[in-house]
Amino acid sequence: MVKFDRVAYDKKYYRKNRASILKRSETYRQENREAINSRLRDWYSKKGRDVKRAWRWMAEYGLTAEEVGSLFLFQGGRCAICGEKNSKEGRWKSLNIDHEHGGFKKVRGLLCTLCNRILGALERRPKLLKLCKPFQIYISYPPARKLKIGGWK
Cα 145 versus chain centre, distance = 19
Domains along the sequence of the chain with CATH: 6-147 (3.40.1800.10)
Total-model pTM: 0.67
The rounded distance, in Å, linking the Cα atoms of 81 and 115 is 7
Q: How confident is the model at residue 39 (pLDDT cuts 50, 70, 90)?
A: very high
The rounded distance, in Å, linking the Cα atoms of 63 and 38 is 31
The answer to whether 152 and 140 have CB atoms below 8 angstroms apart is: no
Residue 90, pLDDT score: 54
Query: What distances in angstroms separate CA 124 from CA 1, 63, 88, 120, 137, one per listed residue?
Result: 67, 26, 30, 7, 17
Residue 30, pLDDT score: 96
The rounded distance, in Å, linking the Cα atoms of 55 and 61 is 10
Q: How confident is the model at residue 142 (pLDDT cuts 50, 70, 90)?
A: very high
What is the per-residue pLDDT across 78-127, written as a single tens digit (0 to 9) for each?
999 998 886 655 555 678 899 887 766 789 999 998 899 999 999 889 89
Residue 94, pLDDT score: 78
Query: What distances in angstroms separate CA 112 from CA 36, 53, 85, 107, one per listed residue?
Result: 38, 17, 8, 15
Residue 33 exposure: Cα atoms within 13 Å on the Cβ side: 4
Q: Tell me the pLDDT of the chain averaged across its residues.
A: 87
Question: What's the mean pLDDT in 11-39?
Answer: 95
Q: How confident is the model at residue 37 (pLDDT cuts 50, 70, 90)?
A: very high
